[in-house]
Structure 1
Amino acid sequence: MKAIEKDDLWIENKNRHEYIKKRDEEFSKAQLREIKYEKWDDVCQERCFYSKSLIGFINEKPGEWLNYLKDSYIKDYKKNCSFEQINAWKDSYLIIIEFLNNMEISERSGRIIFEYHFKNGRRADCIIVLNGMVYIIEFKVKSYYEKKDLSQIKRYAYLTKLELFKGFDIRKILILSLVDSGFFIEEGDIVICSGKMLSKAIH
Structure 2
Amino acid sequence: MNRLLLAFGLVCLLQGLSAEPRPEFSLTGTVPASVRITAVKNDANVTATAIKALSVANVTSGFAGLVGTKTQIEKVITQFDTKAQAILAAYDTLLAANDGNVSGQFDAFVTTINATITYIATDASNVTAELGVNLRAYLPLVQYILTTTIENIAEADSYLMNLKTLLSSGVSSEASKYGVDIEKVTSEIEAQLAGDFAAEASNANTTYFNVNQLSNINR
Q: TM-score normalised by the shorter chain: which range applies?
A: under 0.3
Bigger proportion of residues as helix? 2
TM-score by length of 1: 0.25
TM-score by length of 2: 0.24
Larger RCO: Structure 1 or Structure 2 (Cα < 8 Å, ≥ 6 residues apart)?
A: 2
